[in-house]
Amino acid sequence: MITMEPIQYKPQDFKSDQEVRWCPGCGDYAMLNSLQKAMAEIGVAPEKTVVVSGIGCSSRLPYYVNSYGMHTIHGRASAIASGIKVANPELTVWQITGDGDCLAIGGNHFIHAVRRNIDLNILLFNNEIYGLTKGQYSPTSRLGFVSKSSPYGTVEEPFRPAQLTFGARGTFFARTIDVDLKTSQDVLIQAARHKGCSVVEALVNCVIFNEGTHKSITEKEFRADKTIVLKHGEPMIFGKNNDKGLIIDGFNLRSVTIGENGITEKDIMVHDAKCSDPTLHFKLGNMKDDLPVALGVIRNIDETSYDQAVADQITDVQAKRPIRKLEEFLHTLETWEIQ
Amino acid sequence: MSDTAKITTLDQVVIRFSGDSGDGMQLTGSLFSNLSAIYGNEISTFPDYPAEIRAPQGTLSGVSGYQVHVGSKKIHTPGDLADVLIAMNPAALKVNRNAIKPNAIVIADEDSFDQNNLNKAGFVTDNPFEELKLNGVQLIMAPITSMVKASLVDSDMDTKNILRSKNMFALGLLCWLFNTPIDRAMHLLENKFKKKPVILKANLKVLTDGYNYGNNTHGSVSTYHVNPTDMPKGTYTDVKGNQATAWGLIAAAEKSGLPLFLGSYPITPATEILQELAARKELGVKTFQAEDEIAGVCTAIGASFAGSLAATSTSGPGLALKSEAIGLAVMAELPLVIVDVQRGGPSTGLPTKTEQADLLQALYGRNGESPCVVVAASTPANCFDYAFIASKLALEHMTPAILLTDGFLANGSSAWRIPSLDNYPIIKPPFVHANMQPTWKPYMRNPENGVRYWAIPGTEGFAHRVGGLEKDNKTSAISTNPANHHLMVKLRQEKIDAIANVIPLLEVQGNKEADLLVVGWGGTFGHLYTAVEELNNTGEKVAFVHFNYISPLPANTIGLLKKYKKIVVCELNNGQFAGYLRSKVAGIDPIQYNKIEGQPFTVSELTDFFKTILYK
């Protein structure tokens, strides 16, 4: 008997022959590299991998990946990816999208893909700007943001992708930043392994139209103090000196320093990404300002995916009804004979 | 008494069931048409119901109707004016005033003709028949409500449910009037209410009471009999257009060996296609009730990319929403079936009424040069064939194909001989094969028909990317090269044009040597055919051609149309097909007969109009 060793893929195997054409310095380059590394480690063959996107800078990504791919129309990638996955659950389906594509024109499809828990890996590039149309505010741009279409500042509050995902009953949400290759690769692998709809928000920099938008958390000198990489089953400790942690104070989260005011490591919360109640995940996903921005996998719970449920239902019905051909079925209807 | 009563034999009869939308007239009508079909009559039916599910009781806006045409010879329409009207209340009588013959039999529920209901229906006198000048009708006034109450006084049902059985009394009366044995009606009810024994028992009792009432009290009135037809041997069932469409898609999936996927969003009058396919899980069908019309078509496009026979079903407003995505399928050259069950428009329009006004939307309603296949079904039963054909053309030519049906076909029914799928052709999608590598590119084409090859995910060595951006005709990389775009637009058009080589030629019916050619397309076939047949039977000379293939047109279209001195294009819109023909056949200027009332043609209006042209 010949036993086949599982093929060890290299990131190179997932690189297409197309020249990457983002602006020099764009955060999307780092995410593409992280994705190709993650794909190699996940080990699904290029021909069983499908990468789907909508419209926008990030949505050019499928052209750069050696796999089956579809660069579709604005906002509709979630729906098209849903059709691919439901039609053939054997495929690993990635959706590449941006804050405008996913949360403005595609918002409806996004929340329903999340609600249905279709086994998609949605990689949402959030640069808080419309880049391909050259600099208009997006649904994640902060209140008051000045752009070409908001010369006096926006007067609308932004979406937070984590809130939207949890509000739509999401089963997996992770966040990363373009410059943190290790976390990016790690959350993309976990997203792919999660059976159900996985949303990964990547905070990326738009070097041309929104330079430095995530700077307050991404700059090396304060990244460790301004972010926390959450890991399931591990205490929520962060900081340059690994001496800061998160505790629950009443209904709120609070950042504390270990060793101050009698706080010890035991007082620090342990991250439970698998808790089905999303309340704490909401709070973690919302952290900003005085609290570190949460990176890593915030929520990762097991629920039956839609594509699996569709396939299971067919199996169940077929077990009860032996008919497999249309003609046989038609003869089970109310019929009569003309002699 | 009944044994001495006269039985008159008829060639055909038109019966109209009418009542409140909660009176169960659709069910009664469809049961009666099934009974007639089972007996061996030709049938054609047409439901005519309001958009409101339950409009206020007794009002004109709440009237729901169902017309059945029963015949002993081939019939093609649900009939013009009714010979028999069942009016469950005064509003039903008033609404159908002009839908019945002057000497029609009117069966009415005497109990419902009280002052309250007369007021609700806007009658100003005590005698609605005189007020409507219905002096010639033969009236059978039966106290249906009170007899049903009496009939079910010992049942366990509450008054509301008891009154819901009134329609069965009417059905029993009709069975008596048409000498239809009620045992088969009982059998139908037994199947229908298998799981509701209390309701079944009540319905059977009321049905029998209605039949006996007719027999006992109107023994001196003539009853009727319609002889069975000489239909081809076989097993028959009753089919509605929407069911036939759903089954045609399943047939195409079987004949292509591909799984069937439907992405859809509920919309009147197309919803039954989604419902029927959602119920066919034993046949492996996957349905996806999407969050909106756009997601309906987009999930289908995804399923197509993944290798399914993918379809989406909708009506006019939904087709408008899907247009950008259909353009993507044109650009990516993916097979996709779009079923548009047309209704009155524009905007929300007349959701429950029929129209043919989406033709130009189907042909041209997308940005850019965006050709696709357009075919139209012409009878409830041949929705099966055209759903099959649309699927075959989509799969074999890697293109979106739009199937146009309409509310009249979708909800109308006819007897249908269950086909043998052995008589349907195999469908062969142009899949890539291993020896095409290493030179294969996504837009490499078969030189014979201009069709690209299909590589579905999972096929090793053929990973590739498609999308909405224009691609280089050779390398398939993104291209904005001017000459390349020009070429690609031409190639996409030529691919559709080449389909004319594989579809049937038009055939002229009626009198081929006539000067006048009647032209129709889609769901108006039955009325046009009957009108032309009637005229030829009375010594006039009229030719008739009906289009099922719209884009591309059959190869003999130009030559055929140019042979006739006078052409009249008849359609349920403001002249869209006439305009399309003018653009495709230089030098013709057809006369138009357009009706935009949300209703099908009547045969008599057509024959009247054709006569005026003949003698002009």
pLDDT in tens, A52-63: 999 999 999 999
A72-81, A283-292, A307-316, B154-163: least confidently modelled range: B154-163
Tokens of A262: 């009698």
Instruction: Please tell me the predicted confidence (pLDDT) of residue A4.
Output: 65
β-bridge partners, B89: none
For residue A234, give both structure tokens.
């591990």
What pLDDT does residue A15 have? Answer: 97
Can you give the pTM of this predicted structure?
A: 0.94
- pLDDT-derived band of residue B2, with 50, 70 and 90 as boundaries? very low
Is B106 in contact with B87 (CB distance < 8 Å)?
yes
Residues 409-448 of B with CB under 8 A from A: 417-421
Residues 6+ apart with CB under 8 A from A258: A237, A243, A244, A245, A264, A265, A268
- Selected residues 175-204 of chain B with any CB under 8 Å from a CB in chain A: 188, 191
Among A87, A90, A339, the residue with its CB nearest the CB of B261 is A87
Q: How far apart are CA B383 and CA A93, in angstroms?
A: 35
CA separation for the pair A192, A195 (Å, rounded)? 8
The backbone torsions φ and ψ at residue A209, rounded to the nearest 5 degrees and listed phi first, read -105, -10
Distance (Å, rounded) from C-alpha B309 to C-alpha B393? 11
pLDDT in tens, A287-319: 999 999 999 999 999 999 999 999 999 999 999
Neighbours of B421 (CB within 10 A): 15
* Residues A197 and A120 sit within 8 Å (Cβ to Cβ): yes
Instruction: Please give, rounded to a whole number of angstroms, the shortest distance from the CA of A211 to a CA of chain B.
Output: 28
Orientation angle between helical segments A28-42 and A181-193, nearest 10 degrees:
50
Confidence of residue A339 (pLDDT cuts 50, 70, 90): confident
Number of H helices and E strands in chain B, helices first, is 21, 23
- From the list B37, B237, B298, the residue facing A83 with the nearest CB is B298
**Closest by CA position to A99, among listed A55, A147, A60, A51:** A55
Select the residue from A51, A53, A76 to test the B interface by mutation, using most B Cβ atoms within 10 A. A76
pLDDT band at A131 (very low <50, low <70, confident <90, very high): very high
Picking from B187, B191, B193, B288 by the largest number of A CB atoms within 10 A of its own CB, the best residue to mutate is B288
Mean pLDDT value across chain B: 94
**Strand, helix or coil for residue B587:** coil
**Phi first, then psi: what are they for B526, rounded to 5°?**
-60, -45
Q: Which two tokens stand for residue B58?
A: 């007794």
The pLDDT score that the predictor gives to residue B57 is: 85
A128: left (phi over 0), alpha (psi -120 to 50) or beta: left
Say how far apart CA B274 and CA B328 lie, in whole Å. 23
Could you tell me the pLDDT band of residue B221, with boundaries at 50, 70 and 90?
Answer: low
Question: Among residues 520-579 of chain B, which lie with CB inside 8 Å of chain A?
Answer: none
pLDDT at B115 (0 to 100): 95
End-to-end CA distance of chain A: 60
Query: Given a cut of 60, is residue A194 above it in pLDDT?
Result: yes
Closest CA to B406 of B363, B360, B365, B352: B352
A217 and A223 in contact (C-beta within 8 Å)? Answer: yes
The answer, yes or no, to whether residue B257 has pLDDT greater than 70, is yes
Cβ–Cβ contact B326 with A under 8 A: no
From the list A76, A333, A336, the residue facing B294 with the nearest CB is A76
Give the pLDDT of residue B1: 36
How close B45 comes to chain A (CA, Å)?
17
Whether the CB of B128 is below 8 Å from some CB of chain A: the reply is no
Q: What does the pLDDT average to over B486-492?
A: 98
> E strand or H helix at A218, and its extent?
helix A215-218
How many C-beta atoms lie closer than 10 Å to residue B163's C-beta?
Answer: 17
- Is residue B594 within 8 Å of B575, Cβ to Cβ? yes
- Give the phi and the psi of residue B583 in degrees, each rounded to 5: -75, -20
pLDDT range class, residue A242, cuts 50, 70, 90: very high
* Chain B residue with the nearest C-alpha to that of A61: B465
Closest CA to B389 of B339, B464, B343, B323: B339
Q: According to the model, what pLDDT value does residue B343 have?
A: 98
3-state helix, strand, coil in chain A (%, to 5): 35, 20, 45
Tokens of A140: 């994640």
A81 → closest Cβ in B247, B302, B459 = B302
Residue ranges of E strands in A27-119: 49-53, 68-71, 92-98
Average the pLDDT over A238-256 and give the result.
96
Confidence of residue B73 (pLDDT cuts 50, 70, 90): confident
- Rounded to a whole number, what is the distance in Å from the CA of A45 to chain B's nearest CA? 9
User: Does residue B451 surpass a pLDDT of 90?
Assistant: yes
Q: How many CB atoms lie within 10 A of CB A3?
A: 4
Q: Is the pLDDT of residue B548 over 60?
A: yes
pLDDT digits (tens, 9 = 90+) for A258-296: 999 999 999 999 999 999 999 999 999 999 999 999 999
Q: Per the CB < 8 Å rule, is A62 touching B283?
A: no
For residue B231, the chain A residue with the least C-alpha distance is: A338
SS3 assignment for B566-581: EEEEEECCCCHHHHHH
Indicate whether A234 pLDDT > 60: yes
With CB atoms and an 8 Å threshold, state whether B283 touches A324.
yes
CA A294, CA B576: separation in Å to the nearest integer? Answer: 59
Statement: residue B26 has pLDDT above 80: yes
Chain B stretch 342-381, residues whose beta carbon is closer than 8 A to a beta carbon of chain A: none
Q: Which of B232, B282, B295 sits opposite A324 (nearest CB)?
A: B282
Among B136, B112, B113, B144, CA closest to B217: B144
Question: How much is the pLDDT for B495?
Answer: 98
Per-residue confidence (pLDDT) for residue B3, from 0 to 100: 45
Contact partners, residue A262, CB within 8 Å, separation at least 6: none
Task: Express as a percent the part of chain B with pLDDT over 70.
Answer: 98
Residue A3 pLDDT grade (very low, low, confident, very high; cuts 50, 70, 90): low
Helix orientation angle between B383-397 and B241-256, rounded to the nearest 10 degrees: 40
Residue B85, Cβ neighbours under 10 Å: how many? 27
Provide the pLDDT for residue B381.
96
Coil/strand/helix, residue A158: coil
Quick check: B310 and A90 CB within 8 A? no
Whether residues B306 and A339 touch (CB distance < 8 A) is answered with: no
Instruction: Mark yes or no for CB contact A87/B303 under 8 Å.
Output: yes
The Cα B75–Cα B448 span in angstroms is: 42
d(CA B432, CA B257) in angstroms, rounded, equals: 16
Among chain A residues, the shortest Cα distance to B37 is held by: A336
On whether the CB atoms of residues A118 and A42 are closer than 8 A, the answer is no
pLDDT in tens, B94-136: 999 999 999 999 999 999 999 999 999 999 999 999 999 999 9
Q: Kindly state the average pLDDT of the residues A16-23.
A: 93
Interface-testing mutation among A14, A17, A60, A88, with chain B (most B C-beta atoms within 10 A): A88
Q: What token pair was written down for A177?
A: 């930043």
Is it the case that residue B4 has pLDDT exceeding 70?
Answer: no
* The pLDDT of residue B219: 55
In single-letter form, the type of residue at position B88 comes to M
The yes-or-no verdict on residue B420 having pLDDT over 60 is: yes
Mean pLDDT of B373-386: 97
How far off is chain B from A88, nearest CA to CA, in Å?
7
Whether B555 and B501 have beta carbons less than 8 Å apart is answered as yes
Amino acid at B301: I
The pLDDT of residue A285: 98
Report the DSSP beta bridge partners of residue A161.
Answer: none
Which residues have C-beta within 8 Å of that of residue B83, sequence separation ≥ 6?
A: B10, B13, B14, B15, B100, B101, B104, B105
- The shortest CB-CB distance from A335 to any of B247, B418, B457 is to B418
Q: Which of A56, A78, A73 is nearest to A136 (CA)?
A: A56
